[in-house]
Structure 1
């Protein structure tokens, strides 16, 4: 795992590293969150390179079953740390809301939306640009969460909705981008937000021949190409940044082009067979490092897709 913070490569974590060691690199960002700064965490890498293990960790088939702390990924550990920090504040001073969005075939799906029977279903939503130039998702569902256990119960339940298509690389490989946002609201004038971006996949194996799968891969590749184009425009400080060339970049506009603290994790395979994919991921990271951002500012309103 290659970690980039701003223009600095911080650490490389091998497969032998514990989940706790990896999370230690993220923990300071949660403190800055409660200080009033927005945070965005993005995992990027090819299919099967370890994004799910890094961000989610081990997962039981039973969505209500607990997972050992040592096997938890960044999202459950971050949620646990967040609620721990909140517990040290005055009682009822903060509330946490959660949204879960998937970008699949260039469509935005609200994975917390429920049907008349109360079951979660993926409902299509649109991304809009507000009068202030930020991106929003009208009618996006938010759930009030009171503990890290509630966060993971929601995530585990919606993961079953995600669209899967077996590949020669990874038989349970998801063909989509998965975005979890925790919004922390305070009774103080500041509203805080933590955006966790999960599973932004790079190019997958060229061995897949099925037309339907090729179409889905093409949508993913177009999204990632658009993401690279946005980074290029930011690096070159162009007057126009093409956020709206894809739903993914439009959705992430506030994090990529805003003033959120952005941390990108590159997940790469250790085998020579996937050298091209690994080099592509490293190239993406190198480009991201070149983006010059203004220092993060305290936010008066939450970073919300609502």
Structure 2
């Protein structure tokens, strides 16, 4: 039998090489890490970047309130009650003659301080309980889980109302009570992620080297769950702002005459029935836009599950 030589088409080889080269180039591009603003922009998308801009704007407004507010938020005038929009008062005045725009700018401070207190306390408590439960396991894990289950039975607003009834209405009291109510949601998510890290081989290897559990937890496990912690804080910020605004609306949070968005909605309710809607509507829009911005950024960064909420 004679062997027949198969002629190979040089063009086919060139095409195949080009295909391989393109695949390698794409793989190289995919392997190149994206960091900084490019990574943030890719994860957030156009709407997320707009939401992030809203958050930055509100934070700057709160910080620069003494410089950018056109009037004293506490100073009113009987002769300037319920003034309509004008160059002098861009959002009009309230029932006491105070400039609404100035009070919204200053109200950003209290509207941000309260949720900040909530998420910081929540992050500390949830992370501590979750990592303790994961590392020790057994009875410690079971005990912490039962405590969290008990906290699950109490709605956040109920805890806040009980705390205010005992200690009196204030922003700090309401914030601490809400933080306790938020803790089981965040602790559940952090525990699930930390448990997966706890069972990885590098943890056992570190234990064999004689490294203490505290060092392993702080140096290795905690950095690997920080994404869930930060994402949960971002999402919970919006929830905390809504609930604190509701408490201020009910008169259980920030007390007058302190400028606060939730309190402004409540104070403008009577004026709203008389046709003067500016105070309630503008303050309500500030709450809605800010909460939506924080919620969207948080969900884009890590998803709703990062906060541990199912609602």
TM-score range, shorter-chain basis?
Answer: under 0.3
Structure with higher RCO (Cα < 8 A, 6+ apart)? 1
Compare the two structures and name the one with the higher helix fraction: 2
Compare the two structures and name the one with the higher strand fraction: 1
